[in-house]
């Protein structure tokens, strides 16, 4: 029987990994799992399932029922719940687990970063930094900013947010990758004087940081949650592919 790999995906890296496996290791059966939070997700190559598992026990049952031989957690760096569930499920089902995590961003000279540990902490900091806020933290965390009625917000997200939300809010529906010229123009057009982002890492959404640096706009950066203990982690698709190749050969 071919090795059956489950990829917990939804990220650029997850889609790239599924595509490269199809091209380079076609004997490996690949199933990608998407959470279903985006209305029209970009689908990876191969088999796809959409929706939750019902917690770590439900995921462990799915791993056993579908004879999964290896599991790769390639979810968003802020998908802490699914990563914890994956670690528990893999241990219960005795399935090897690898985490694929793109490196976080690193500040450079000229950056005016204000690191915080949560969206709530970011919201508390905003009144001291600016009045016109560019939110790039996703639609699901918008409630953290709902009480800041004196501030104006531009939220960029793939899908529209649900209430509660800030009273003075404009929503821009868009999906990366974004360009530096586009981000410069966006900051100017909306007179943005503070940016809020999560440290998601990667090049697709990094141009906003360069645009903010050039414009001397302060950036509130929400730190990543810590990864589950004991889970081996690789920074790129090539390393994840090598991990799968070892298991397919063994």
Which residues pair with residue 97 across a beta bridge? 71
Residues 113-222, CATH architecture: 3-Layer(aba) Sandwich (3.40)
**DSSP notation for 16-40:** HHHHHHHHH-TTSEEEEEE---SSS
Q: What CATH fold (topology level) applies to the domain 4-103+228-249?
A: Rossmann fold (3.40.50)
pLDDT digit string (tens) for 161-196? 999 999 999 999 998 899 999 999 999 999 999 999
Helix (H) or strand (E) holding 224: none
State pTM to two decimals: 0.90
pLDDT digit string (tens) for 192-250? 999 999 999 998 889 999 999 999 999 999 999 988 999 999 999 999 999 999 999 97
Does the fold of domain 113-222 match that of domain 4-103+228-249?
Answer: yes
What are the domain boundaries of the chain?
Answer: 4-103+228-249, 113-222
Contact (CB, 8 A) for 133 and 154:
yes
């Amino acid at each position: 029987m071919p090795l059956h790999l489950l990829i917990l995906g939804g990220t650029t890296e997850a889609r790239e990994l599924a595509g490269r496996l199809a091209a380079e290791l076609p004997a490996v059966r690949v199933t990608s799992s998407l959470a279903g939070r985006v209305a029209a997700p970009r689908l990876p190559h191969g088999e796809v399932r959409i929706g939750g598992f019902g917690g770590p026990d439900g995921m462990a049952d799915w791993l056993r029922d579908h004879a999964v031989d290896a599991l790769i957690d390639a979810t968003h760096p802020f998908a802490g719940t699914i990563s914890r569930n994956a670690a528990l499920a893999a241990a219960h089902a005795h399935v090897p687990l690898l985490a694929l995590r793109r490196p976080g961003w690193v500040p450079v000279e000229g950056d005016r970063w204000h690191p915080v540990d949560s969206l709530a902490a970011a919201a508390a900091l905003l009144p001291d930094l600016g009045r016109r806020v560019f939110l790039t933290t996703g639609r699901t965390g918008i409630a953290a900013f709902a009480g800041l009625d004196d501030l104006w917000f531009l939220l960029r997200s793939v899908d529209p947010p649900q209430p509660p939300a800030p009273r003075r809010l404009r929503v821009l529906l868009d999906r990366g990758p974004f360009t530096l010229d586009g981000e410069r123009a966006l900051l100017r057009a909306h007179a943005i004087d503070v940016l809020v982002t999560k440290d998601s890492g990667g090049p697709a959404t990094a141009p906003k940081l360069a645009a903010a640096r050039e414009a001397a706009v302060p950036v509130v950066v929400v730190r990543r949650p810590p990864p589950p203990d004991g889970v081996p982690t690789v920074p790129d698709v090539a390393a994840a592919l090598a991990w799968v190749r070892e298991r397919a050969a063994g």
